[in-house]
Amino acid sequence: MGARLSRIFRFTAVSLAACLAAGVTRADTVRMSGSAQQAIAGESFRLNFACTGAPVCDGTYTVFEQDSGCSNSITFSNQIEFTNVNVSSPGPFSGTVTLTQGQHNSNVNADGTCTYTSLGTTFSLPYNANWTGSSGTLSINGPETSVSGTFTASGPTSPVFPMNVTGSMGAFTSTFDATVQPQPADAGKTESVYVFVHAPSNIVQGATAKRAGASPVGAVQDDGAIVCVLAQTNSQGQLVAVSASTMQAAVTGVLGSQGQAVKILNQFPTQNLSGSTVYVGYGTSASAMLASAVYQGAVRFAGPVQCTASLASAPAPASPGPITGLWWNASESGWGIHFTQRGTNIFAAWYTYDAAGNPKWYVASNCAGVNGTAGTCSGTLYQVNGPAFFGVTFNPALDNVTSVGSLSLTFTDANTGSMTYNVSGQARTVAIARQPVAVGTATPAVDYSDLWWNSSESGWGMAMAHQSGNIFLAWYVYDGTGQPVWYVASNCVVSGSSCSGTLYKTTGPPFGPTFNPSQVQVSAAGSVIVSFVDANNAVLSYTVNGVTATKTVTRQLF
């Protein structure tokens, strides 16, 4: 599209050469999503979910529940994990599904409504599924009754080797076992089976010394950030850093074609595994296992810093510069502009209103010249029309970018500045400041503030401003006629490695030389869940005007 437009929700994907050079492949890139429901007299229950990985599929769920005798319902979201996912070929599979804080209680009030209370219980339930090759059916066996539904899956589907995982993830301790069935060529060989953990360095004993690690997929140094390192468990309930040369085998012997049983975790403290993924693999040595990538995830534990499937990648974020975030004029609540700063360039995504007061957005993809937290930059403002977004397959070939004016930004420091714009002959200068989006000053382990996109669907994007335990999402897409429209989730509450909240659509005063905030009207349009696979990748699950779907998103690099 040329240099000036290359940054409009677009960039070149990072090469996998570094991972391939280390002999590492990512096996668990299956994407699975679906829903299950139950409807009996006087009550209803629906579970929507989206997860990533195979044989362990980890993600988020949303439950819509109305208990018997209650005139109102409740919606809640949290983490979900399926074990033994196998969509490599048509057929049945079964395992355990774990829902974090999935149990609620209801008390009937005098007016017929109910007060719903979370019991804070994380519990595991057996499930059965059947995959046809293009779609699947699912049933989850609950403590009182079962729910059933459908799911779809995409992405690489062949496991490294068949593995059956059983056990449970408790609030205090976790216990899991696995049966490893070797690849046909390995049956009858004398090999060692290894159980190891990919964990955030801040919860691993001895990890600091390993950060410059010499192992092919060991620790990674990144400006002192928390990174993912190899570890194993000890008898004191702790994670201890290991390398390929010091990793201990769980069992060594002849691999039978019927499978090898191995203990993964034995009443290990759940909190000591926050953000970790537990792996099982085999080889003549740990070095050989890692080099040939004969290992796969068995159990994943949610956490603020998530160590995931690729042992070659650390969770240190590809963080933008200090100007990055949501900015506004506090006396003109209802519009805002998000800046993403990399180097001396700023990408500005501005949500405002058109001449009729309908939501509309513009971007300045190349406002260059601000070095650090002070300075001035200028760039061209663009309007983007595109294909319809909701309920159809997005076609980036239908993007149409038009120059509509100019934008100049002046920053006094990291929190104050001004913007001058000229859009179709309408010019204005207005003071702006960084917008607070959360109460509190706690610094998140990973700051997700950035511009996010799907690299195969250039033309739409999502700006995230992350402070303390909240993320403000500004989502730039298109309506059914291809006109630019935006939605916001002003309170996407962060829990573990995901955030969830209500999506809103806003109308406001006609675009002009002044802005009247009293004309801003806000209405709920749906809901959104962002499940962070790691610091730089996420799964976006949304429902907008009755349309439910999932998308993968990554930080947009430029």
Q: 80-134: per-residue pLDDT in tens?
A: 889 888 887 788 898 889 888 777 888 899 998 999 888 777 778 899 999 888 8
Asked if 308 and 442 sit in the same domain, the reply is: no
Q: Which residues contact 118 (CB under 8 A, 6 or more apart)?
A: 76, 101, 103, 104
Burial of 541 (0-12, 13-18, 19+ CB in 10 A): buried
pLDDT of residue 2: 30
Mean pLDDT computed over 246-255: 94
pLDDT of residue 316: 55
Tell me, yes or no, whether 44 lies in a domain.
yes
Tell me, yes or no, whether 99 lies in a domain.
yes
Which of the four pLDDT bands, split at 50, 70 and 90, describes residue 305?
A: low
Write out pLDDT tens, residues 208-243.
533 333 333 333 333 333 567 789 999 999 999 988
Asked if 128 and 168 sit in the same domain, the reply is: no
Asked if 524 and 423 sit in the same domain, the reply is: yes
Write out pLDDT tens, residues 496-550.
667 889 999 999 999 989 999 999 999 999 999 887 766 787 878 899 988 988 8
Report yes or no: 278 and 299 within 8 Å, Cβ to Cβ: yes
pLDDT over 60 at 23, yes or no: no
| Residue at which a domain ends, from 283, 316, 349 | 316
Asked if 72 and 176 sit in the same domain, the reply is: no
Report yes or no: 372 and 391 within 8 Å, Cβ to Cβ: no
| Residue at which a domain ends, from 137, 159, 181 | 159
Asked if 78 and 182 sit in the same domain, the reply is: no
Asked if 173 and 151 sit in the same domain, the reply is: no
Asked if 66 and 182 sit in the same domain, the reply is: no
CATH number of the domain to which 51 belongs: 2.40.160
User: What phi and psi, each to the nearest 5 degrees, are found at residue 325?
Assistant: 150, -175
Mean pLDDT computed over 268-282: 91
Mean pLDDT computed over 340-366: 95
* Domain, as residue range, for 267: 161-316
Mean pLDDT computed over 477-494: 95
Asked if 498 and 406 sit in the same domain, the reply is: yes
Domain count, the chain: 3
Report yes or no: 364 and 7 within 8 Å, Cβ to Cβ: no
Tell me, yes or no, whether 12 lies in a domain.
no
pLDDT of residue 219: 32
pLDDT of residue 278: 92
Asked if 286 and 417 sit in the same domain, the reply is: no
Tell me, yes or no, whether 11 lies in a domain.
no
| Residue at which a domain ends, from 257, 284, 316 | 316
Question: Model pTM?
Answer: 0.55
Tell me, yes or no, whether 15 lies in a domain.
no
Q: Which residues contact 15 (CB under 8 A, 6 or more apart)?
A: none
pLDDT of residue 158: 63
pLDDT of residue 1: 26
Tell me, yes or no, whether 306 lies in a domain.
yes
Asked if 416 and 426 sit in the same domain, the reply is: yes
Write out pLDDT tens, residues 285-297.
998 888 787 888 8
Asked if 495 and 505 sit in the same domain, the reply is: yes
Residue with tokens 């702006």: 432
Asked if 137 and 167 sit in the same domain, the reply is: no
User: What average pLDDT does the structure give for the chain?
Assistant: 83
Poorest-pLDDT segment among 28-37, 107-116, 188-197: 28-37
Tell me, yes or no, whether 20 lies in a domain.
no
Q: Say what percent of the chain tops pLDDT 70.
A: 85
Tell me, yes or no, whether 103 lies in a domain.
yes
Mean pLDDT computed over 457-468: 94
